[in-house]
């Protein structure tokens, strides 16, 4: 976008007239409006392509902010925490994400967007902090769970969600 606007600027800046004339041959009086139109179309096209690229990545463009992703998980990963998380998951998440986290819960079909697949090993590319943030914030149609579940409960859910996807990397990324 920046380039587009600077191109506009060059055309209108009287001081740059020399440079513009040198690079663009047709110097007739109708050239500037035509150029502006072409540039405008070009800029629009660029924005359009960018938007398409973003939507092509589909389900994976929801990213937690770096600061949130760095947040350390304060809850030890043990069977007790996972069991608590499992219970909360059944109540709050299963309707959409399904019993095993594949995104095939009873409510999933009626959603305008498919629930994320929590069994994908790629889940391990996200930190605990990032998953915690997503549970806390939500992203329509996924609701925010900041009010429904306490912080402790949300970390328990993170610990449970970790059991849904096979960890293909030997060690889980901590950063």
Residues that bind ligand HEC (CB under 6 A): 59, 62, 89, 92-93, 95-97, 107, 111, 113, 115-116, 118, 126, 131, 134-135, 139, 141-143, 145, 157, 161
Q: List the helix and strand counts (H, then E) for the chain.
A: 8, 0
Choose among 116, 79, 125: nearest CA to 98.
116
| Residues in contact with 82: Cβ distance below 8 Å, sequence separation at least 6, in sequence order | 156, 159, 160, 163
The residue (of 42 and 121) whose beta carbon lies closer to ligand HEC is 121
Q: How far is the CB of 79 from ligand HEC (least distance, A)?
A: 18
The residue (of 32 and 95) whose beta carbon lies closer to ligand HEC is 95
Choose among 41, 23, 1, 44: nearest CA to 11.
23
Q: How far is the CB of 142 from ligand HEC (least distance, A)?
A: 3
Q: How far is the CB of 166 from ligand HEC (least distance, A)?
A: 15
The residue (of 69 and 93) whose beta carbon lies closer to ligand HEC is 93
Q: How far is the CB of 69 from ligand HEC (least distance, A)?
A: 11
- Distance of CA 34 to CAs 7, 27, 38, 55, 128, Å? 13, 11, 6, 32, 53
């Amino acid at each position: 976008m920046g380039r587009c606007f600077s191109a506009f600027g060059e055309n209108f800046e009287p001081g740059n007239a020399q440079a513009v004339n040198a690079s663009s041959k047709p110097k007739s009086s109708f050239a500037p409006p035509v150029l502006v139109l072409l540039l405008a179309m070009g800029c629009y096209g660029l924005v359009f392509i960018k938007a398409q690229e973003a939507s092509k990545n589909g389900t994976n463009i929801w990213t937690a902010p770096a600061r949130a992703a760095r947040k350390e998980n304060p809850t030890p990963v043990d069977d007790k925490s996972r069991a608590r998380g499992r219970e909360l998951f059944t109540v709050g998440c299963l309707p959409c994400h399904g019993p095993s986290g594949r995104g095939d819960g009873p409510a999933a079909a009626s959603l305008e967007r498919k629930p994320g697949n929590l069994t994908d090993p790629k889940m391990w590319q996200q930190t605990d902090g990032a998953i915690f943030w997503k549970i806390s914030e939500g992203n329509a149609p996924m609701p925010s769970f900041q009010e429904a579940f306490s912080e402790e409960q949300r970390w328990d859910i993170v610990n449970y969600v970790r059991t849904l996807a096979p960890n293909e990397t030997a060690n889980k990324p901590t950063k």
